[in-house]
Structure 1
Amino acid sequence: MFLIVSSVFAVLMAVFIVFVRLKATSKPVDAKKVILPPFFMATGFLMFVFPVFRVTWSEAAEAFLVGCVFSLFLIKTSNFEKRGEAIYLKRSKGFVVILIALFLIRMGMKQFFGHYISVGETSGLFFIVAFGMILPWRFAMYFKFKKVKATS
């Protein structure tokens, strides 16, 4: 039952993220909007205070590296453009497709690994995968943002 509820919640979150991301292309971006999300997400590491979520360091490193590999696709499809004096995120059809594909891959991996490790450990690992995706993606976006901003 928990697996079904968490999967439905994950689908709703994915749809929400796609809509937020598409709406973000209509508003100017600044450096804070690009770089702050990983810092906000980092508060999620507090889950590891509770033993049920803890994983080994090697598992955490593997999960983080998987997230970094996934982030390459997000980095490739996230670009900025200057309109007047403001900088905007370019809308990319590929981004939505990649976001959905990554979501489906993560759900498949979650279903697979959920049979072998506890729900808490699975949650911890997939949080680390998500953090491994957002951290390099946002840093790459920041450098792309700075490059576009410098071309004034």
Structure 2
Amino acid sequence: MNSTASLMISAIIFFFILRGQLSGMHKPLKKSGITLLLPILYISTSLTQLFDPTLHIREDQVIIALLIGMVVSIPLIITTNFEVRDNGNTFIKRNRTVFVLLIVIFALRFLAIATIKSIDPSTLSFMCNLVTFGYIATWRIVSFIKFRSVTSSKLVDLNA
């Protein structure tokens, strides 16, 4: 898969993540919170690049890309919170910083692909997808845990 196709797929996934964040601020999340984990499924489709016979990636590159993704997820984790509103439903707290962070991260991805020439394009695309997978998976799993703790504390408050 060439870098242009990879960027197009990333742009589509990016759009779905932004749309999900925005709707989560205006529409209550389902009781289970499973929809918070859907972006992991979206981005995992990019892992099909592993079947590309021209892909030459080393184990250490995979580990570094995933670790970078986990570090990138930290500001997203800090800025993503949940609130129970008057109607008893749980929403993503309104926070524009999350959108700014996502746009910056996506712009850095474009910049990396445009400037790094020492790695072949298919490997660089795959590494960018691994970084994306690393931050989305980490961010969404921790967000799911935060959501569950907010909803469980809501149930405790209702029973008290």
Bin of the TM-score, shorter chain as denominator length: 0.7 to 0.9
Q: TM-score, normalised by structure 1?
A: 0.83
What SS does structure 1 have at the residue aligned with 2:57? coil
Identity among equivalent positions (%) equals 27
SS in 1 for 2:29: coil
Residue in structure 1 matched with residue 25 of structure 2 by the alignment = 25
Alpha-carbon RMSD: 2.5
Q: TM-score, normalised by structure 2?
A: 0.80
**Structure 1 Cα separation of the partners of residues 29 and 14 of structure 2:** 22
Of 97, 106, 109, which aligns to 1:106?
109
Residue 81 of structure 1 aligns to a residue whose secondary structure is strand
- Residue identity matched to 2:113: K
Cα gap change, 1:117 to 1:25, in 2 (>3 Å): same
Structure 1 residue 137 corresponds to structure 2 residue 139: yes
Residue 58 of structure 1 aligns with an amino acid whose one-letter code is D
| Structure-2 residue corresponding to 1:66 | 68
Unaligned runs of 5+ in 1: none
Cα gap change, 1:110 to 1:81, in 2 (>3 Å)? same
Q: What number of residue pairs does the alignment pair up?
A: 150
Moved more, 88-97 or 50-59: 50-59
Task: State the 1:66 CA deviation.
Answer: 0.8
1:2-151 matches, within 5 Å, as 14=14, 17-30=17-30, 31-83=33-85, 84-113=87-116, 115-151=117-153
Say which is worse superposed, 11-20 or 66-75, in terms of deviation.
11-20
Letter matched to residue 130 of structure 2? I
Q: Give 3-state SS (helix, strand or coil) of 1:151's partner.
A: helix
Cα distance in 2 between the residues matched to 1:139 and 1:62? 20
Structure 1, 74-83 or 11-20: larger mean CA deviation = 11-20
> Aligned letter for 1:46?
T
Read off the aligned partner of 1:122 and give its amino acid letter: L
1:55 and 1:130 mapped to 2: Cα distance?
16
Q: Is the 8 A contact 2:3 2:125 kept in 1?
A: no
- Any stretches of 5+ residues in structure 2 without a counterpart? 155-160
Mark the CA change 1:5 to 1:130 in structure 2 (over 3 Å): closer, same or farther.
Answer: closer
Q: Aligned to 2:54, what secondary structure does the other structure show?
A: helix
